[in-house]
Amino acid sequence: MSKLRNAAARSADSLGRSMKAEYAKTQQRARNDGNSQQKSVTAFAEDEVAEKARTSAVAAGQTARRVGRTAVQNTPQSADELKTQVKAAKAQLDKARTAAAKRKAAAAQKKKTVAASQPSGTSVRSNSPPSTPAAGRSGNTVGVSQSSAKQAYRKKQTGKRLKSYRTSANSLSSVRSSGQTVGRSLTVANLRRAGAAAGKTAHAANAAKNAYKRKQYAKRAADASRKTIRATVEAVKVTLKSTKALVTLLLAGGWVAVVIILVVVLFGCAISMFGGGSNSKSYTPVSVEVRDYRPIIQQYAKEHGIPEYTDLIMAVMMQESGGKGLDPMQASECSFNTRFLHHPGSIVDPEYSINVGIQNLAACLKAANVQSPIDMDNIKLALQGYNYGNGYIAWAQEHYKGYSTANALEFSDLMAKKKGWSNYGDSNYVLNVLRYYPIGRAFTAGGNQVIVEIASAQIGNKGGQPYWSWYGFKSRIAWCACYVSWCADQCSYIDAGIIPKFSLCSDGVAWFKKNGQWQDRNYLPQAGDLIFFDWEGDGRCNHVGIVEKCEDGVVYTIEGNSGNACKRQHYAVGSKKIFGYGCPMY
C-alpha cells in the first residue's frame, strides 16, 4: 500500500478522491493476484487510520528517545547552554505531539470523507469468497453467521491495532517523562548546588592543609622561642658581668662614663618600648597567630635579603590581617604574585602570601633607601609605599623629599579622584603599623606630632562641612569640636581610646578631667595637646583647638571654625582666654 503524502494539508474533497483512487488500486491488485480477501471501503479506512496513528506514535517515541539521550550524553558546559538545550528538547517534544495530532485528525477526516462519498443502498462486497445462495431460511442463517464472523474478525483486528497504538502512546509518555526528569536534574539550581558542594569540599581540603602548616609553624616557633630564652639568659649574664666591669672603670673616670650613660639611655628606651608604665600605649604586641609565622617569615626574609627586618615584617602582617586567613600579608594585588589572580583575597596559600609580601616590602625598602631597622624616616616612606604602591615613594621623594602624614593624605586624595573612588588606601598606615614595631618606637617621635600634621593639612578649608557631616549632623553647627574629633579619627586615636569623639566642648573637658589628663591655663603645653577656651570669662568652655607648638611663652594653635575656617592662631601662655588643656596619653 502506498503512502498518502501530506495528508494533513489536503482539503476534504481531495482526500476523498485520493482515498477512492487508492482503494480502487488496492482492490484491482487483489483481483489480479487472485486474492479473494478484498477489503471494504470502511475496513480500508480503519486500517489507514490505525496505521497512521501507529506510525505517528513510533516517530514521536523515537524523537523523544533521541532527545532524552542527547540530554544525558551532551551535558552543557554552562548554565546558558543548559537552558538552550532544555528549551530545544521541549520544542521537539511539542513538535512531535503536534505532528501526531495532525496525522490522527487527517486520518479521521479521510474516514469521514470516504464514508460520506459512498452511495446509499450500495452493497458492500464481502471480504470472504462469494457463497452459493441457498433456498429458504437456512440460506439466510448462513449469510448472517458469515457476516457476524467477518465483523468480529474486523473488530479483533481493529482492537489489536488500537492496543498497539495505546502501547506506543504509553511508551511516548514514558519517554517524555524520562526526558523531563533528566531536564529537571540538569537545571541551573542543581548545577549550582553541585558546584557549591564541590567548593565546600575543596575549601575543607584547603583548611585541613593550612591547619597542618600552621601546626608545623607553631612547632618551629616553639623551638625558636626556647632557643631565644636560652640566648636571653646568657645575654643577661653577660650584661651583668659587663655592668660590673663598667662600674669599676667608671670609678677610674675617663671616657667610660660616656659609655655608661649610653647604656642607661638604651635601657630606658627598652623600658619605654615594652610598656614601662601603666599608661604606656607606645607598643602593642603582635598576636599569637603572627608569632606562629615567625620561622617562615625569617626563612623568606633571609631569602630576599632583609633578615634584619623580621620584626617589621611581623608588624606589617599584624596590621594587614592579624595573622589570620589564607592571605596574611594581603599580597594578592601585588605585582610579585604570579600564581593567583590580582584581586583581593585571591591568594589561598599563607606561605605563598608571606613570600610575595616580603618580596614587595623588600622592594619598598630598597626604593625608599632604608639603611637599617632604625632608619625610621625612610621606613615610614617604605611602609606607606607598601600600602599605596611604589608610585607613592617616587612621588613623595620628588615633591616632599620623603614621607609625612600630610602628603600621605594628599596622595590618597589625588588617587581617589583619579580613579573615581571614595577613598584610596590607608593614609594612617604608617601609624598603624608602628604600633606593633618595638624597635622603631625607641627611635621615633611621639604620636602627638601626627595629629598636628593632619590638622595643618586642613588649613584654609571653610564652612566645616566635611567635619560636621562626618560626625553625623545634617546641617551646619558650631564645628570646632567636630574638627578636632575628625583629626583624631584620621589618626585612629578615637578607636585607640586616646582622644574621645565629642561635638560639645564641655564633653571633651569632662572626659579629660575624668581620666586625670587635665591641666590649667598656666601649663606649658606640648604639640598635640588640646586647648580649650572661655571667651566670655564665665567659667564655661565654648571653643577648642589643637596645640601646634609652644615657644617663648607663646602657644601656637590650629583651630576649626575660627572665623568659619581652619586657621592658625597664637596666645600668650596663661592667657585668660584659655580655659585649660586636655593632654592625651599618646
What φ, ψ does residue 124 adopt, rounded to 5°? -90, 130
In angstroms, the CA 311 to CA 314 distance is 5
CA distances from 214 to 223, 288, 289, 445 (A): 14, 11, 9, 36
Based on the number of CB atoms within 10 Å of its own CB, is 537 exposed (0-12), middle (13-18) or buried (19 or more)?
exposed
Q: Where, residue-wise, is CATH 1.10.530.10 in the chain?
A: 205-444
- The CATH class given to the 449-582 domain equals alpha beta
Q: For position 531, what pLDDT does the model report?
A: 98
Distance between CA 5 and CA 127 in Å, rounded?
27
pLDDT at 131: 44
| Residue 329 in grid coordinates | 600579608
Q: Sorting pLDDT into bands at 50, 70 and 90, what band is 313?
A: very high
Nearest Cα residue to 293 out of 274, 320, 333: 320
As a whole number, mean pLDDT of residues 82-102 equals 76
Alpha-carbon distance of 479 to 461, in angstroms, equals: 12
Compute the distance between CA of residue 452 and CA of residue 491 in angstroms, rounded to an integer: 10
The pLDDT of residue 543 is 97
Residue 534 · residue 426 · CB < 8 Å: no
**Predicted pLDDT of residue 431:** 84
Strands 578-582 and 567-572: what pairing?
unpaired
d(C-alpha 222, C-alpha 486), whole Å: 43
Instruction: Please name the residues in contact with 523: beta carbons below 8 A apart, sequence gap of 6 or more.
Output: 580, 581
b/e string for 549-572 if b means 16 or more Cβ within 10 A?
Answer: ebeeeebbbbbbbbeeebbeeebe
Q: Which of 21-35, 199-213, 241-255, 508-522 has the lowest mean pLDDT?
A: 241-255
Within 8 A by CB and 6+ apart from 338, the residues are none
Number of C-alpha atoms within 13 angstroms, CB side, residue 452? 19
Q: Read off the pLDDT of each residue in 457-478 and give the average, rounded to a whole number.
A: 94
Measured distance CA(355)–CA(327) in Å, rounded: 11
Calculate the dihedral angle through the C-alpha atoms of 10, 14, 17, 19, rounding to the nearest 10 degrees. Answer: 10
pLDDT at 446: 47
pTM over 0.85: no
* pLDDT at residue 164 is higher than 90: no
Band (pLDDT 50/70/90 cuts) for residue 250 is very low
Per the model's pLDDT, the better-predicted residue between 231 and 402 turns out to be: 402
* Of 40-54, 267-281, 490-504, 524-538, minimum mean pLDDT range: 267-281
Cβ density class 515-527: b for 16+ within 10 Å, e for less: eebbeebebebeb
CA distance 281 to 331: 29
Q: What percent of the chain has pLDDT over 90?
A: 40
CA distances from 196 to 190, 193, 268 (A): 10, 5, 57
List of E strands, 483-542: 518-519, 530-533
Q: How far is 425 from 409, CA to CA, in rounded Å?
A: 10
Q: Are 41 and 124 in contact (CB under 8 A)?
A: yes
Alpha-helix runs per DSSP H in 186-275: 188-251, 256-273
Given the DSSP bridges, would you call strands 543-551 and 578-582 parallel, antiparallel or unpaired?
unpaired
Answer CATH for 205-444 from 1.10.357.10, 1.10.760.10, 3.90.1300.10, 1.10.530.10: 1.10.530.10
Q: What is the largest CA-CA distance in the chain?
A: 169
Residue 322 corresponds to which cell in the numbers above?
A: 592579624
Q: Between the CA atoms of 21, 23, 24 and 25, what dihedral angle is there, to the nearest 10 degrees?
A: 90
Distance separating alpha carbons of residues 509 and 316, to the nearest angstrom = 36
Task: Summarize the chain as % helix, strand, coil (round to 5).
Answer: 60, 5, 35
With contact defined as beta carbons under 8 Å apart, do 204 and 279 qualify? no
Q: What is the pLDDT of residue 3?
A: 44
Write out the residue limits of the CATH 3.90.1720 domain(s) in the chain. Answer: 449-582
* Mean pLDDT taken over the chain: 75
